[in-house]
Chain A
């Protein structure tokens, strides 16, 4: 793959890939890192047949590998990075009540899903079609609908359950 291809690939898929990874990992810097590694690998590839599913598959595998390999080292780096960040002047976005709660609940709800369901759902959210998802995750086309149905249902149900728990059931929606 030449630089021109890479550039096109990057322009086309970088944003959705990073969003996918941020949602998956909960950390933008880490997500950017994985995305970068993914595109570097693409550069080393002669040809890529199904671009989008290839990219998402590689990124997904990088995440899995890394999670397995050095989660402890990563945690340490995270901490250092956070410290460095704290010393810089960048203030975090202030969070409104809803936004902060929302995000925390969403993260916990997403964690309640099985790995494969989570990946399929996040890929779907980035516009991958069922064929691409099937290819990226090594699943059959026919199982994607069921996977997504289960993932969405669990996510929403988990979220609502958490939300009710968080509000102590006092804010019944009327």
Chain B
């Protein structure tokens, strides 16, 4: 039976969930082929289905000292044909390896759902004036069955028609693993630096590239870049033991021993770390000295972590310390509120690093030769392990300058020029989209030699096709 009327939402969700009887599903499909309005509703519903799944995924592993027991490692539900089960399961699998990265995945999506609809608009604007219909029909005819649709949904495929209707679903393979490892390496480095026994590091101060990243941060924040959390303090980590020596033995200053008002709820500690000029400082380590818990600030300098319920009482004072390579630590004494959460902004001042000696052994020919060198290093084809809105998943950093003679070069996806790029240094390159709205991304070679673009791992691949 055909649908002479427009589809209602229940039917659309039933269809997307693969729950309609075959004849009804067929009727829905034939209606969708002809009805742009309903196709648009389907695209929207698809966004809701995926968005809801991912929001719920954020709740997993909540509220227990035990980590990800039972349900955490769950295999995908055996008999579930449900389209949305797949992404959840794969995300969960990833989380077992790389706990912090999962958060990025979920966050991206939440934003992704917003982007979804916007993506449609942009496309319409860019491509032709004609047309909600066009964008939408494209997305509606693409899937033959709800299942096919689901797979397109979870993994952004190159199909141009499916793209705009679909949130850029991060497949969350272990993709930010590299980034996480890098962040940990940096944290470890930060700890090493405060060790009294460690000699001043001979490496040049990383202030410049970090500052660079700081500038890129607002962008990163909007695309949901991960801030990797500090590894849990464990006796095995020498850097962290050090920190314990420094502070952990200090007992918490309790308000009034006779009437302790133990916090029955977790205290969320959030805030922002900045430099004196109010620019955000990513990758600063923030910790509660007395408790040995904390987090690392994200690209926008923001951080958040929780003091679990029962660990502190209202009126207790604890020290919150932020620390980062190249900056002097900032410590605040804060009082635990009775009910509220804590918001703490910390400002770090740069320290001058003294290096024993700087040996300069010869000078490169010209600046442009140097930038050419740097550029040569970046050229090649890349594969993003997770989609970045606005960028194709596969692209090539080409050597051709745009315009001729400039340091900006062409980024191609297939034969199309999609963006420009420029080497900013040996470890940083900047990509900028060509079509409005202009976006830019920072490509960074991290400490562990991974390439990271906006928090996503980038793989260099062969250019042959």
Q: Residues of A at under 8 Å CB distance from B?
A: 12, 14-16, 18-19, 22-23, 26-29, 31-32, 35, 52, 75, 78-79, 82-83, 85-86, 88, 90-107, 109-110, 121-122, 124-127, 129-130, 142-153, 155-156, 159-160, 163, 171-174
Contact = CB atoms under 8 A, between A and B. Distances in A.
Interface in B293-311: 293-298, 300, 302-306, 308-311
Nearest to A24: B59
A156 B115 CA distance: 13
B113 A27 contact: no
A37 B264 CA distance: 26
A156 B13 contact: no
A26 B51 contact: no
Contact of B11 (A27, A32, A124, A145): A145
A19 to B, nearest CB: 4
Given A78-B264, A93-B232, A149 B222 contact: no
B71 A85 contact: no
Given A28-B61, A126-B80, 14 more contacts: A15-B71, A79-B310, A94-B295, A96-B100, A98-B106, A99-B106, A101-B304, A102-B106, A105-B55, A127-B77, A153-B9, A160-B114, A171-B218, A173-B111
Contact of A125 (B84, B106, B304, B310): B84
10 contacts: A23-B62, A26-B59, A27-B64, A28-B71, A99-B103, A102-B110, A104-B268, A106-B58, A147-B10, A159-B55
Contact of B227 (A16, A75, A98, A149): A98
Contact of A93 (B12, B229, B233, B304): B229
Which of B103, B114, B262 has the most chain A CB atoms inside 10 A of its CB? B103
A23 B64 CA distance: 12
B184 to A, nearest CB: 11
Contacts of B146: none
Contacts of A78: 264, 309
B103 A155 contact: no
A22 B67 CA distance: 12
Nearest to A76: B264
Contacts of B70: 14-15, 18, 28, 32, 35
B187 to A, nearest CB: 11
A35 B70 CA distance: 11
B66 A28 contact: yes
A133 to B, nearest CB: 9
B14 interface: yes
Given A93-B67, A130-B19, A148 B227 contact: no
Contacts of B293: 91-92, 94
Given A26-B62, A127-B79, A173-B114, A143 B270 contact: no
B52 interface: yes
Interface string B57-85: 01111111111011101111111111011
A22 B118 contact: no
A146 B61 contact: no
Given A26-B59, A144-B14, A88 B65 contact: yes
Interface string B109-132: 011011100100000000000000
Contact of A82 (B78, B80, B229, B310): B310
Contact of A130 (B14, B295, B308): B14
A28 B56 contact: no
Nearest to B296: A96
Given A22-B71, A32-B70, A101-B270, A106 B55 contact: yes
B306 A95 contact: yes
B392 interface: no
A95 B341 CA distance: 15
Nearest to A166: B270
B231 interface: yes
Contacts of B71: 15-16, 18-19, 22, 28, 31
Contacts of A130: 14, 17, 19
Given A15-B70, A79-B310, A96-B100, A156 B65 contact: no
Contacts of B69: 28, 32
Contacts of A96: 100, 103-104, 226-229, 295-296, 298, 304
Nearest to A90: B65
B232 A79 contact: no
Contacts of B12: 145, 149
Contacts of B14: 130, 144-145
B264 A75 contact: yes
A145 B10 contact: yes
Contacts of A103: 58-59, 62
Contact of B61 (A91, A93, A172): A93
Contact of A83 (B104, B107, B221, B310): B310
Which of A78, A110, A150, A153 has the most chain B CB atoms inside 10 A of its CB? A153
Nearest to B102: A99
